[in-house]
Amino acid sequence: MKTINLIFGCHAHQPVGNFDFVFERAYRECYRPFLDVLEHFPGVQVTMHFTGPLLDWFEHAAPDFLDRLAALVSSGQIEMMGGGYYEPLLCAIPERDALRQIERMHLYCEKRFGAKVRGMWLTERVWEPQMAHILAKSGIEYTPLDDAHFLCSGLEPEQMFGYYMTEDEGFTVKVFPILERLRYLVPFHQVEETITWLNDQATESGTRCAVLHDDYEKFGVWPGTNKSVYKEGWLEHFFQALTENKDWLHSVTYSQYLDANTALGRTYIPCASYDEMMTWALPTAMQRELVRAREKLRQSPDLHQRCARFMRGGFWRSFLSKYEESNNIQKRMLRTSTRLDRLRREMPASEMLDEAEKMLHQGQCNCAYWHGVFGGLYLNHLRTALYEKIIASDALMDAVEVRDTAQSRFVAVDFDADGNLEGILENDHIALFFKPSDGGTLFEFDYKPQPFNFGNVLTRREEVYHDQLRHGGVLVGEESGGDLSIHDLVKAKEKDLDKLLVYDPWRRVSLRDRFIANTASADSLWSGLEPELGSFARHPYTMSGKDGQISLEAYGTIAGTAGGLLHLQKNVKLPRGESCFDVTYTIHFDCALPSDILFGVELAVNFLTGNAPDRYLWSEHIKVDDGRLGVRGELPATKHLAARDDWQRLELAFSFLPPARVFRFPLDTVSQSEDGQERVHQGCILLPCWNLPGDGKEFTIDFRVMASRLID
Q: What is the pLDDT of residues 173-192, one digit of tens each?
A: 999 999 999 999 999 999 99
Please list, in sequence order, all residues whose beta carbon lies within 8 angstroms of the beta carbon of residue 700, skipping any fewer than 6 positions away: 582, 583, 584, 585, 655, 656, 657
- The answer to whether residue 477 scores a pLDDT higher than 70 is no
> How many other CB atoms are found less than 10 A from the CB of residue 424?
18
Q: Tell me, what's the pLDDT at 319?
A: 98
Q: Tell me, what's the pLDDT at 662?
A: 98
Q: What is the pTM of this model?
A: 0.95
- The answer to whether residue 489 scores a pLDDT higher than 70 is no
Task: Read off the pLDDT of residues 635-678 as tens digits, 9 standing for 90 and up.
Answer: 999 999 999 999 999 999 999 999 999 999 999 999 988 778 99
Q: How confident is the model at residue 423 (pLDDT cuts 50, 70, 90)?
A: very high
- Angstrom distance (rounded) from CA 304 to CA 136: 37
- The answer to whether residue 30 scores a pLDDT higher than 60 is yes
DSSP 460-529: ----TTHHHHHH---EESPPP-S-S-TTT--EESSTTGGGG----SS---B-EEEEEETT--HHHHHHT-
CB 119 within 8 A of CB 254: yes
Q: Tell me, what's the pLDDT at 593?
A: 82
Name the percent of the chain lying above pLDDT 70: 97
Task: Read off the pLDDT of residues 500-535 as tens digits, 9 standing for 90 and up.
Answer: 999 999 999 999 999 999 999 999 999 999 999 999
Q: What is the dihedral of CA 385, 390, 392, 395, to 10 degrees?
A: -160
Burial of 480 (0-12, 13-18, 19+ CB in 10 A): buried
Q: Tell me, what's the pLDDT at 561?
A: 79
State how beta strands 566-573 and 549-556 pair.
antiparallel
Catalytic residues: 124, 215
Which CATH architecture best describes the domain 405-474+486-712? Distorted Sandwich (2.70)
Partners of residue 570 on adjacent β-strands = 552, 585
443 sits in which H/E element: strand 441-447
Q: Tell me, what's the pLDDT at 578?
A: 93
Q: Which amino acid is at 711?
A: I
Please list, in sequence order, all residues whose beta carbon lies within 8 angstroms of the beta carbon of residue 711, skipping any fewer than 6 positions away: 644, 646, 649, 650, 651
Read off the pLDDT of each residue in 371-391 and give the average, rounded to a whole number: 95
Topology of the domain comprising 4-273: 7-stranded beta/alpha barrel (3.20.110)
Read off the pLDDT of each residue in 325-336 and give the average, rounded to a whole number: 98
* Strand order, beta sheet including 409-413: 409-413, 422-426, 430-435, 441-447, 452-453
- Using CA atoms, how far residue 479 sits from 359, 373, 484, in Å, is 38, 17, 11
Task: Read off the pLDDT of residues 224-273 as tens digits, 9 standing for 90 and up.
Answer: 999 999 999 999 999 999 999 999 999 999 999 999 999 999 999 999 99
CB 579 within 8 A of CB 447: yes
Task: Read off the pLDDT of residues 99-121 as tens digits, 9 standing for 90 and up.
Answer: 999 999 999 999 999 999 999 99
- Angstrom distance (rounded) from CA 200 to CA 242: 15
Q: How confident is the model at residue 309 (pLDDT cuts 50, 70, 90)?
A: confident
- The answer to whether residue 487 scores a pLDDT higher than 50 is no
Read off the pLDDT of each residue in 375-380 and give the average, rounded to a whole number: 95
DSSP 57-79: HHHHH-HHHHHHHHHHHHHTSEE
Residue 10: helix, strand or coil by DSSP?
A: strand
Q: How confident is the model at residue 68 (pLDDT cuts 50, 70, 90)?
A: very high
- Angstrom distance (rounded) from CA 694 to CA 682: 34
Q: Tell me, what's the pLDDT at 675?
A: 77
Q: Which of 195, 222, 126, 157 is nearest to 488 (CA)?
A: 222
Task: Read off the pLDDT of residues 593-621 as tens digits, 9 standing for 90 and up.
Answer: 888 899 999 999 999 999 999 999 999 99
Q: How confident is the model at residue 592 (pLDDT cuts 50, 70, 90)?
A: confident
Name the percent of the chain lying above pLDDT 90: 87
Task: Read off the pLDDT of residues 552-567 as tens digits, 9 standing for 90 and up.
Answer: 999 999 987 777 789 9
Give the chain's mean pLDDT: 94
The vertex-451 CA angle with 450 and 456, nearest 5°, equals 125
Tell me the CA end-to-end span of the chain in Å, nearest whole number: 78
